Chain A
Amino acid sequence: MPRHGIELTSVSKTYQTSKGDIEAIREVDLTVPEKGFTALIGPSGCGKSTLLKLIGDLEEPTGGTVRVDGKTPREVRRSGALGVAFQDAALLPWRDVRANIALTLQASGRKVVRSRIDELIALVGLTGFERAKPAQLSGGMRQRAALARALATDPELLLLDEPFGALDELLRMTMVLELQRIWLDRPHTTVLVTHSIQEAVMLSDSVVVMAPHPGRVHATVPVPFTRPRPEELTRSAEFHQLCDQISLHLAEASGHDAAARPKAAIGRAS
């Protein structure tokens, strides 16, 4: 019987390197409902990016199973139902914004419809920059283009790996609100890897806190706020309470006391 949403059962991943085996993830169970938005958060080395790559068939697990709407990640990827965006916008420097967004369509062998690309450009707020090359764009604009590229194939599954990680605080909040608007416009089943508790709480239905060495699920925290969530929400007591709760989980997961928390939250995943 096909199930909806993402289902991970006892998923493990071990890398073999010249210095010996590295266990990135050990026996992770995780469910993301269809059209749900789940955030993965955790200290460096907790394997959250690896988990995301396993869901997207960008890497293969060494144990356990991953299913998306009852299909294997490979079937999902091959059917062109996957969209991804990373911290590195990774636009091709020799293509303008329009051609960069069309890249995933070309890659999956689909027809590039100009008007559809321009709709996406409008959706992410880049109208007027269609012909600009990546070198002429700011960091925020590049991330918008990368997001539009992920959405171009109209994916059923959207995987975001710290897409705003390289942006400053103010721009980050703007982009979070934009992403929420885009997602509400057409909800995809979405998994977001992030270092920012605020970002996770603003965007997701549930926040999965992961622990490192080896990566595993430490706690799952549901987010009760109704959408759309306005920026004012970040200044409310309930929001702060939830953030505090998650940061306590994070501190436990890192094995540090609360004083060491900011460092764990700032550290970059490798």
Chain B
Amino acid sequence: MTARTLAWAGGGSRTRPRRVSRAAVSRTLLRALLIALLLACWQAVGGHQWFAAGAVPSPHQVWDSLRADWGDYGPHVRATLWTALWGFLIGNAIGCLFAFLFLLWPGAAPLTRGLLITLFCMPIAIIAPLLGVMLPLAAAKIVIASMWSVFNMQVALLLAMRQVPPGALAVVESAGGGRLRQLLLVHARAGLPGFLAALQINAPSTLLAAIFGDFIGGQKGIGIYLTGLIVSGNQARIWAFSLVIAAIGAALYLAFGLLRALVTGSDINIAVAETAVAATTANRGRRFARALASAVCGLTLVLVGWWAFVSSVSLPSVIANTPLDVLHTFTGPRGSQVISQIGDALASSGPLALIGVALGLLAALALGVTATLAPWFTQLVMPFAMVFQSVPTVAFAPLLAIAFGRGSLIIVLVTVLVTFFPAFVAISTGLAAAPEVPGLVLKSAAASRFTMLRLYVVPQAMPYLLAAARLVIPLAILGVVLAEQLITGTGLGNLMSQAVGYQDFPMMWCVTVVMIAISVIAYLAVEAFERWYLARRQ
């Protein structure tokens, strides 16, 4: 534990070298070379019949499309960024409120956890159509953009606020200050690194969510423009716009990263931070009781919230279903048909998605672990991986379809793509902060490289792998749904599209409920495994 804390403290601070070293220059040159090489490969592949039947445009075709379409981008990008900004402000503000609430009243945390996890796991592509029906268009889009931020902010801010020197609290108390003074004078400042880290993670993910909000409808928005391009079928134009989206996501991530480096100079990895939280529970009996209470409370809150929301909008109950209405659909005359349709849809994509996530995680583990043998490699590719982690990779799903066809393989590919980068970044940063001495001990015993990996590096990487697995769940589900709706025409995504087409509200509600349940259960299952694994090995 101390080793990890020290590694954090040590690894976090970044000192600015007074003069640029030769190593840094050669690294930059190598990166530039790598980019040039990638562009050259792309140019070679692009426009040739021997790859993907010539469906991949070459860089200069993409460049031409970019220049031709540039004037059209502005209003669409502005509209989505405006939605994203509101969602970002609201989601993070709610996350902060929850963090302060849990700090002042820790008992509230397990009770509302279920609600926050549900928000974090929300399959926004599935709930978007329903929200679009129930709320005014602009409001629905903002709600969708805000949902993913709440949990990240709450977790990161609370964790950072709790890392205060105990003496500091005693000093405020001895000077006559109460809990509120402690909060303002000590905790709030301590929480700053966590706050900024959460902002950095949330900025690109809010953009992604806002893009999916666009699919509800409207005149202007990135998602709307992208849909139009996909319909037009012009590959070079799709590529050009996808790259613009990626650049915006990366720019947001880098800008907030710069802000964080300027203000705090610290580098907390959210995945790591959460792992630490997951590992701190003891006593099996009490833990079970607490988990049960938390589950019951979380479910109740979600159901009550749902009910309250549905009753607050003045829509007929045929459209705005309550939990009871959904239950009636399942148990009523249509029940068996609905269940079999949902079951078939799940069976078609579920296993493929699982395979994709597993492959993505395994690839991240394999690359992250072997990269420790060649630190220069990690240093070389890390900036790219960081940027890719923030890029809305899901937006590239249509491009994958062009290159790899519309078969079910695409589900696997999308989930691999979505899973790999966050997992690779989490594992690499985790391993970079790993204590040095065990490696020296193994080296002293003449351990081969493979033995070193097997005995030390892989077990050391496991907590980060598990944390990453938990955190990519919403993204993976989003990727699958998108691929189903846009490309394969199968699964729950397609079932939802059909239900929206037929205005079949009971079906829409059933699919939504099942999808949310699957997301939350997947999250809780990975988390339970993580806790079990960490407790067992300590």
B438 CB–A CB distance under 8 Å: yes
CB pair B443 A77 closer than 8 Å: yes
Given A18-B17, A92-B456, A94-B459, A107-B24 contact (CB < 8 Å): no
CB pair B17 A19 closer than 8 Å: yes
Q: How far is the CB of B303 from chain A (nearest CB, A)?
A: 40
Closest to A135 in B: B538
As a 0/1 sequence over residues 485 to 502 of chain B, the CB contacts with chain A under 8 angstroms (1 = contact) are 000000000000000000
B451 CB–A CB distance under 8 Å: yes
As a 0/1 sequence over residues 1 to 31 of chain B, the CB contacts with chain A under 8 angstroms (1 = contact) are 1010000000000000111010110000000
A104 CB–B CB distance under 8 Å: yes
As a 0/1 sequence over residues 68 to 99 of chain A, the CB contacts with chain B under 8 angstroms (1 = contact) are 00000000011110111010101011100000
Closest to B438 in A: A90
CB pair B444 A106 closer than 8 Å: no
CB pair B445 A93 closer than 8 Å: no
Given A103-B455, A133-B538, A149-B21 contact (CB < 8 Å): no
CB pair B445 A104 closer than 8 Å: yes
Residues of B within 8 A of A56 (CB): 444
CB pair A58 B23 closer than 8 Å: no
As a 0/1 sequence over residues 415 to 441 of chain B, the CB contacts with chain A under 8 angstroms (1 = contact) are 000000000000000000001011011
Given A18-B21, A107-B452, A93-B537 contact (CB < 8 Å): yes
As a 0/1 sequence over residues 31 to 58 of chain A, the CB contacts with chain B under 8 angstroms (1 = contact) are 0000000000000000000000100101
CB pair A18 B446 closer than 8 Å: no
Which residue in A17, A82, A88, A104 is a CB contact (below 8 Å) of B435? A88
**Considering the chains assembled together, what is the distance between the CA atoms of A269 and B24 in angstroms?**
28
As a 0/1 sequence over residues 312 to 336 of chain B, the CB contacts with chain A under 8 angstroms (1 = contact) are 0000000000000000000000000
B448 CB–A CB distance under 8 Å: yes
Residues of B within 8 A of A18 (CB): 17, 21, 23-24
A204 CB–B CB distance under 8 Å: no
CB pair A90 B444 closer than 8 Å: no
Given A93-B538, A94-B538, A133-B538, A82-B23 contact (CB < 8 Å): no
A109 CB–B CB distance under 8 Å: yes
Residues of B within 8 A of A133 (CB): 537-538
As a 0/1 sequence over residues 439 to 483 of chain B, the CB contacts with chain A under 8 angstroms (1 = contact) are 011111111100110011001000000000000000000000000
Residues of B within 8 A of A105 (CB): 445
**Considering the chains assembled together, what is the distance between the CA atoms of A96 and B451 in angstroms?**
19
Which residue in B438, B442, B444 is a CB contact (below 8 Å) of A83? B444
What range describes how many residues of A lie at the interface?
20 to 34
A108 CB–B CB distance under 8 Å: yes
Residues of A within 8 A of B437 (CB): 86, 88, 90
* A 238-270 contacts with B by CB, 8 A: none
**Considering the chains assembled together, what is the distance between the CA atoms of A90 and B1 in angstroms?**
11
Which residue in B3, B23, B442 is a CB contact (below 8 Å) of A107? B442
CB pair A106 B455 closer than 8 Å: yes
Residues of B within 8 A of A92 (CB): 438, 455-456, 459
Residues of B within 8 A of A86 (CB): 437, 440-441
Closest to A59 in B: B440
Q: How far is the CB of A80 from chain B (nearest CB, A)?
A: 5
**Considering the chains assembled together, what is the distance between the CA atoms of A20 and B19 in angstroms?**
9
Q: How far is the CB of B198 from chain A (nearest CB, A)?
A: 28
Q: How far is the CB of B328 from chain A (nearest CB, A)?
A: 50
CB pair A19 B18 closer than 8 Å: yes
Q: Which of A16, A83, A86 gathers the greatest number of chain B CB atoms within 10 Å?
A: A86
CB pair A107 B21 closer than 8 Å: no
CB pair A82 B445 closer than 8 Å: yes
As a 0/1 sequence over residues 1 to 23 of chain A, the CB contacts with chain B under 8 angstroms (1 = contact) are 00000000000000011111000
**Considering the chains assembled together, what is the distance between the CA atoms of A153 and B448 in angstroms?**
16
Residues of A within 8 A of B17 (CB): 18-19
**Considering the chains assembled together, what is the distance between the CA atoms of A53 and B437 in angstroms?**
12
As a 0/1 sequence over residues 191 to 209 of chain A, the CB contacts with chain B under 8 angstroms (1 = contact) are 0000000000000000000
Q: How far is the CB of B128 from chain A (nearest CB, A)?
A: 43
Closest to B20 in A: A18
Which residue in A17, A77, A88 is a CB contact (below 8 Å) of B444? A77
Q: How far is the CB of A237 from chain B (nearest CB, A)?
A: 39
Given A90-B437, A106-B455, A58-B442 contact (CB < 8 Å): no
Residues of A within 8 A of B537 (CB): 93-94, 133
Which residue in B438, B446, B455 is a CB contact (below 8 Å) of A77? B446
CB pair B24 A80 closer than 8 Å: no
As a 0/1 sequence over residues 93 to 137 of chain A, the CB contacts with chain B under 8 angstroms (1 = contact) are 110000000011111110000000000000000000000010100
Which residue in A79, A93, A103, A135 is a CB contact (below 8 Å) of B446? A79
**Considering the chains assembled together, what is the distance between the CA atoms of A18 and B442 in angstroms?**
28
Q: How far is the CB of A72 from chain B (nearest CB, A)?
A: 13
Residues of B within 8 A of A53 (CB): 440
CB pair A149 B443 closer than 8 Å: no
**Considering the chains assembled together, what is the distance between the CA atoms of A106 and B446 in angstroms?**
10
Residues of A within 8 A of B452 (CB): 107
A-B interface, 6 closest residue pairs, ranked by CB to CB distance from nearest: A94-B537, A90-B437, A107-B447, A104-B445, A107-B445, A18-B17
Given contacts A77-B446, A92-B455, A94-B459, 14 further A-B contacts (CB under 8 A): A17-B21, A18-B21, A19-B18, A58-B444, A80-B446, A84-B441, A88-B437, A90-B438, A92-B456, A93-B538, A108-B445, A133-B537, A150-B441, A153-B445
Between A and B, 10 residue pairs with Cβ closer than 8 Å are A16-B23, A86-B440, A88-B435, A90-B441, A106-B451, A107-B446, A107-B455, A108-B446, A135-B1, A159-B444
Chain B residues at the A interface, C-beta cutoff of 8 Å: 1, 3, 17-19, 21, 23-24, 435, 437-438, 440-448, 451-452, 455-456, 459, 537-538
